[in-house]
Amino acid sequence: MEFKNFFGTLSGNIKQNCIICQSCDLSLFSNNAANGFFVKTADAANATIIALKNNFLAGDAVLYLKKTACKNIFLFGGCGGCGDIESGDLLIIDKAYNFESFSKMVSFDTNPGYFLSSEKLTSAFYKKNLYEDLIKTNSACVSSLLLESKYVKWFKENGVCAVDMESSVVFSAAKEIGVEAACFMYAADHIEKNPYGEISEDNLKKKISSGRKKLARMVTDFINAK
């Protein structure tokens, strides 16, 4: 598929910094997007926003960036918290475990590989936001929401406090095309206490909304200051 069809814009319009997020988070960064078949693409100051319509195509979206000006990828989004994490907490990912295979998850494979975030980007981001409530942790990139609860004990034993569906996909694709990648998440629910976003308490909803907006500002400010 041609680049423009996939992204809704030409490859020459992609900037050095790219924020990859879900479509539901696009409005945190921009209100004007080009509509491709699989992603929406928008400009935001010093970054290109790439909003996924389908999280399973996150890897393809990154691979398409190989022949663009992209040098830094910032994955932004919600995740399921695990362990001591609370809904609304802000997380910076160090190591992303690969549970991308449904077949391996259903057979309870507990020997996944992993990919590391960019030390350069995460260290600089953490330093700039030293006094913020940022939690540095590992993520598990899963292929099943239903099966993730089977792995809670393994997650806790391996320092996984964030469960998502894009982190190791994006990290591995970024490594393949030779660009830096970092991941910043807000806990949108908790895989033990309130899975699948089943949150009814108004105070938790407000905390998640506030944290989501705050983290988006932090990412934007960091990129604009680069």
pLDDT digits (tens, 9 = 90+) for 34-84: 999 999 999 988 999 999 998 889 999 999 999 999 999 999 999 999 999
- Indicate the average pLDDT of the chain: 93
Q: Which has the closest alpha carbon to 81: 219, 217, 199?
A: 199
Residue 8, pLDDT score: 95
Decide: 7 and 41 in contact? Cβ < 8 Å. yes
H helical segments located in the chain: 3-7, 58-64, 102-106, 119-128, 152-157, 167-177, 202-225
Sketch the domain layout of the chain as residue ranges.
3-225
Q: Is CATH 3.40.50.1580 the right assignment for the domain spanning 3-225?
A: yes
Residue 200, pLDDT score: 62
Q: Which has the closest alpha carbon to 151: 120, 192, 116, 186?
A: 192
Chain center to CA of 136: 14
Q: Which has the closest alpha carbon to 97: 166, 48, 165, 168?
A: 168
The sign of the CA dihedral 2, 3, 6, 10 is negative
Q: What is the pTM of this model?
A: 0.94
